[in-house]
Amino acid sequence: MFENRRISLAAAMFVMVAASARAQLPGAPVLQNAWVGRGFVGAFNLGGGSGEAVYAGALSWAPASGWFQVSAGVGGQTVTGDDDDDGGRVAYGFRVAMPIIGIDRSFGFGVFAGVGGGGPRGLFVSTFTGDTLARQSPPTRIPVGASFGWRRLTGNGRGLSLYAAPSCLFLTGEGAKAALFRAGLGADLGLGESFGLTGGLELGQNRSGVGGPSGTIYGLGISYAFGRP
């Protein structure tokens, strides 16, 4: 029993890596592992591509049972190639994930849903009339999807996890509505019982002029497990 518990904790350590970055932050890929990590995990994440970049911190928590996980993140987002952009804004996100199959196995399946967005862009002055006009706020992003994964443990909290996370990304805000099919491909690497790395890509349908992802975006993260049941 002790050995099984040790293996379970080791598995939780390295699958927490991407789990800590699971909040849906604009400018970061929608990555979701098939498993969740028990306890608290903090992470620093960065994402880019598709004309966006985001730098953010995230925090996740899951109970000892491991049946669900909640995560939240906040950071700064910049948009390139936008003459009306003020150089940056706050990005935030929240996500809930639930493993369905494979909590203590090599293959897993789970589901997730989230919501995220960015702060208002402020004001700008029209060069034609001199009037002060309100900029449009970026759309809210609501991903709903599933995750399929495989993992291999090598002991002492070290291991590798590979997973795919197809999702439907709903965009809504200020009259702009759309539903895009996107897919994330990710890998988590456990460096020990507390530290881990994650990386991944998201690709799929473009924003179609309503805001949101317009191509492939990438994400990188480093996490630390500082509390667990």
pLDDT of residue 13 exceeding 50, the answer is no
212: Cβ–Cβ under 8 A, 6 or more apart, which residues? 26, 139, 141, 169, 171, 178, 180
**Domains, the chain, ordered by start:** 2-227 (2.40.160.20)
Q: Sign of torsion, CA 203 205 208 211?
A: negative
What does the mean pLDDT of the chain come to? 79
Banded pLDDT at 185 (limits 50, 70, 90) = very high
pLDDT at 162: 95
pLDDT at 156: 77
Banded pLDDT at 226 (limits 50, 70, 90) = confident
Banded pLDDT at 88 (limits 50, 70, 90) = confident
pLDDT, tens digit (0-9, with 9 covering 90-100), for 20-50: 456 788 888 999 999 887 889 999 999 988 7
| The token pair that represents 64 in the structure block | 């000892």
pLDDT of residue 155 exceeding 90, the answer is no
- For 181: left if phi > 0, alpha if psi spans -120 to 50, otherwise beta; the answer is beta
**3-state SS track over the chain:** CHHHHHHHHHHHHHHHHHHCCCCCCCCCCCCCCCCCCCEEEEEEEEEEECCEEEEEEEEEEECCCCCCEEEEEEEEEEECCCCCCCCCEEEEEEEEEEEEECCCCCEEEEEEEEEEEECCCCEEECCCCCCEEECCCCCEEEEEEEEEEEEEEEECCEEEEEEEEEEEEEEEECCEEEEEEEEEEEEEEEECCCEEEEEEEEEECCCCCCCCCCCCEEEEEEEEEEECC
pLDDT at 111: 96
pLDDT of residue 104 exceeding 50, the answer is yes
102: Cβ–Cβ under 8 A, 6 or more apart, which residues? 34, 35, 108, 109, 149
pLDDT of residue 86 exceeding 70, the answer is no
Most confident option among 6-15, 70-79, 202-211: 70-79
pLDDT at 206: 86
